[in-house]
Every structure is written in C-alpha cells, then in structure tokens.
Amino acid sequence: MKFQELKIKASDGEYKLEFVDNAIECVLACDKPENLFFLVDEKIWSLYPDVSNRIEKSGAEYLLIHASEAAKSYGEIEILLDKVLEHSFKRGQKLVAVGGGITQDIVGFIASIVYRGVPWIFVPTSLLSQADSCIGSKTSINLGRRKNALGTFHHPESIYLDLRFLGTLSALEIQSGIGEMLKVHIINSIESFNEIAQNYELLRSNQDIMLQTIFNSLFFKKGIIQQDEKDTNIRLVMNYGHTFGHAIEVASQFRIPHGLAVTLGMDTANYISTLINSKTVEYYDLYHPVLMANLNGLPQVHISKEDYFMALLSDKKNTPTERNFVLLNSNGLPTLQSMPVDSMIPSDSYEYLVGILKSC
Ligand SMILES: NC(=O)c1ccc[n+]([C@@H]2O[C@H](COP(=O)([O-])OP(=O)(O)OC[C@H]3O[C@@H](n4cnc5c(N)ncnc54)[C@H](O)[C@@H]3O)[C@@H](O)[C@H]2O)c1
C-alpha cells in the first residue's frame, strides 16, 4: 500500500492510524484475544463472514451493536455498558470497535468512562469514519433529541483502516462520507476544494483516487486537531455545515445520513453567507454544484420547522447574547462568526433548505 501510516499528537501522547489490508488480523496481533473485547456493528458481522468467523475463532469476547442514532443515546449506552460488564469485561482489557461513526462514538464513550477509562482500538468501516471521524479524540452521544450533547475526549490507541469495507456501502453512505471530505477540503483551501471537485466523479470508481482523498482529508484534519485538540479555538471551524446539519438531522428524525445533512448544512451556510457578505457570492456559486451533486438520490423527507428552530437555537456554540455560525469569509473560507440573537438566520436558512430539498 502506498500510504503506510499517519501519527497524531494528542495531549496524552501519540496515536497512529495504519492503512492495512486485513484490519482484524492487525488487531489480533496487538494483544492476546483474552485481553480484547470486540463491539461490532451487526451489519459488518453479517456482511463479512471472514470477520465474524475470525473473531469467534480467536476466542475473544464480543457483542454486536445495532448502529442507529437511538443506540447512541444515554439510556441505550447504560444498557450496553451493563452487558459489557456482565460479560466480565475487566480493567486490563481493551475494547475494539468495528463499524462506522456511530459504533465509534458508542465504544469510544464507553471506553472513556468504564473503570475511569480503558484503551480502545478502532477499525472504521464506513467512508465517513475512515476519512473523518476516526481521528480527533471526540466521543459523542445523544441526550434525548439533543444530538451529541454528551461526550468526552478519548482517542483510540490505534486505528486500522482497511479500504475493502467500503465495497458494501450504499451509494448514499458513500456520499455521506464524501460530504465530510468536501468539508475539510473547503476548510483547507480553495485549491484543495478544486482538487476534490475535479476528482468527484472518479472517487467511486478509482480506488487510488479514493485512497489519496481519504489520506488528504485526514492530513488536513490532523493539522487542525493538533493545534486545538479540545475544540476551543481553530477546531471550531470543523463545525462548518454542522450547526445547520445537526438541526436538519434532528428535524428529519435522523432520516438523512450525517454527512448528507452536513452537505446540506454547508450549502445553507454558504447561502446565509451571501446574505451577509456579497463577496461570498462567487464562492457560493463555486461550491454549490458539487454540494448539489453530492445530494443526488437524497430521499424526500419532511423537516419540521419547530424542531429545526429548537435544534438550531439550542446549538452548544451559542451564548445568551450571541449565536455562533461557521460562515464563509470574503476569501471563501469557513470562519466562526457571531450574530445577534435576533438575527433572521433560523428562518432564512429554513426557507432555503426546504427549497433545496424539494429540488433534490
Ligand atoms: N466522534 C467524532 O469525531 C465524529 C465525527 C463525525 C461524525 N460522528 C458521528 O458519526 C455518525 C455518522 O457516522 P457513519 O455515517 O459512519 O454512521 P454509522 O456508523 O451509522 O454508519 C452508517 C451506516 O452504514 C452501515 N455500515 C457501516 N459500515 C458499513 C460497511 N462497510 N458496509 C455496509 N454498511 C456499513 C452502518 O451499519 C450504518 O447503517 C454520526 O452519529 C455522527 O454524529 C462522530
């Protein structure tokens, strides 16, 4: 493989991501099976018999996870944690997550709290988790309808990235991962956006281009998280598309995959930017066709206005006197911008995105 590894510096040491051809063998080579406890997305378990057979044959403990936003909730985590402990999970063991971003968030969160923190290993299987969420240390779970309201910083000790898992993802799940890759390319520079835009059609058919784009996305993200691991400063720009995106997810009752809600959220943020700063119009025009292409095949869903406003106004970046949004600056780059609490952004953005959804 062309890319071997990526090392990420964190406040409590360095962790590494390796590009590998057989992720489960790599995990089993890390430690004795009796020290490993696998938590596997049930879809992966049935789609990849070699994975399930190998884990069973190893003798390591395992449990299956149904990957849904509901499973990522506080109540469900308590039930899962209880099962993990009933299976005699001990302090000296490591958790191993095999699945997408939801499995990652669940296992990372559990690993951060059980016995005041245990190590964990991650095998990301969705494009979104391979190209974006697997690095950065964040674990997030939902509290009621509040998306990602609870969480910790607890990175895996190793990440094994195996591209073959991408072969069984649906077209929409691939687009969801591309949504997060578009995000970090736009944040990085206009040049990197132009590069991914040029390669957009080839991503699905050309594995070399996909691999290079995943690597670039992780490399750009690494540059940001190493400067601001705890999300207090420049990392906040990674919320580009997410303030509107989270509100869209909640108001559609999670019927839109995360990275597609982010795609819609970025286009909405760009539109709002044009209302505030006319110099951003050329960048709205530049990004819009690619973002729209990435929404191809999106199912028609109803976005409840009430739920959308509630989610947008309770965003954790807001303060009592200001609403914070990541919008485009005059150079077309996303930046954190403060708006007065009585701004028209909630209603303007709702009208815009409902129109966009109708046109999809
Ligand atoms: N912790 C972080 O830093 C971070 C960053 C971004 C997103 N997230 C979270 O990640 C979640 C979205 O991630 P996701 O899109 O990977 O979600 P996911 O884990 O739900 O995966 C998406 C769907 O694809 C299935 N799947 C996974 N791998 C597959 C494969 N190889 N073949 C076939 N199906 C497969 C899953 O079962 C699920 O149905 C959201 O909850 C989001 O909030 C977390």
Residue 345: predicted pLDDT: 92
Asked whether residue 181 falls in the same domain as residue 63, the answer is: no
pLDDT confidence band for 342 (50 / 70 / 90): confident
Count of all residues that appear for the chain in the document: 360
Looking at the structure, do residues 98 and 211 belong to the same domain, yes or no?
no
Q: What is the CATH number of the domain that holds 236?
A: 1.20.1090.10
Same-domain check for residues 223 and 295 = yes
Domain end (from 104, 137, 168) = 168
Place 190 in a pLDDT band, splitting at 50, 70 and 90: very high
Q: Looking at the structure, do residues 142 and 291 belong to the same domain, yes or no?
A: no
Total domains in the chain come to 2
Q: Which of 17, 41, 230 to mutate to test the pocket of ligand 1 (most atoms within 8 A of CB)?
A: 41
Asked if 159 and 198 sit in the same domain, the reply is no
Q: How far is the CA of 125 from the centre of ligand 1 (A)?
A: 8
Which residue spans within 138-236 are E strands per DSSP? 138-143, 146-153, 158-161
Q: Are 154 and 176 in the same domain?
A: no
CATH number at residue 160: 3.40.50.1970
292 plus 214 within the same structural domain: yes
The CA R_g of the chain, rounded to the nearest whole Å, is 20
- 261 Cα: distance to centroid of ligand 1 (angstroms): 13
Q: Tell me the three state secondary structure of residue 141.
A: strand
344 Cα to the center of ligand 1, angstroms: 33
pLDDT digits (tens, 9 = 90+) for 253-285: 999 999 999 999 999 999 999 999 999 999 999
Q: Which of 134, 168, 202 is the last residue of a domain?
A: 168
Q: Determine which residue's CA is closest to atom 13 belonging to ligand 1.
A: 101
Q: Backbone phi, then psi, for 138, in 5-degree steps?
A: -75, 140
Q: Residue 124: helix, strand or coil by DSSP?
A: strand
**Residues 154 and 183 placed together within one structural domain of the fold:** no
Q: What is the pTM of this model?
A: 0.96
CA of 44 relative to ligand 1 center, distance in Å: 12
Co-location of 185 and 43 in the same domain: no
Handedness of CA 124, 130, 136, 139 (dihedral sign): negative
Q: What is the helix (H) or strand (E) element at residue 98, kind and residue range?
A: strand 94-99
Identify which of 263, 271, 350, 358 has the alpha carbon closest to the alpha carbon of residue 309: 350
Could you report the per-residue pLDDT of 69-87, keeping only the tens digit for each?
999 999 999 999 999 999 9
C-beta of 165 in contact with ligand 1 (< 6 A): yes
Phi and psi of 275, rounded to 5°?
Answer: -75, -25
Q: Is 40 helix (H, G, I), strand (E, B) or coil?
A: strand
C-alpha–C-alpha distance, residues 177 and 314, integer Å: 26
First to last CA, the chain: 38
Domain span holding position 46: 5-168
Residue 20 sits in the same domain as residue 96: yes
Q: What is each CA distance from 162 to 27, 29, 125, 127, 314, in whole angstroms?
A: 12, 15, 8, 10, 37
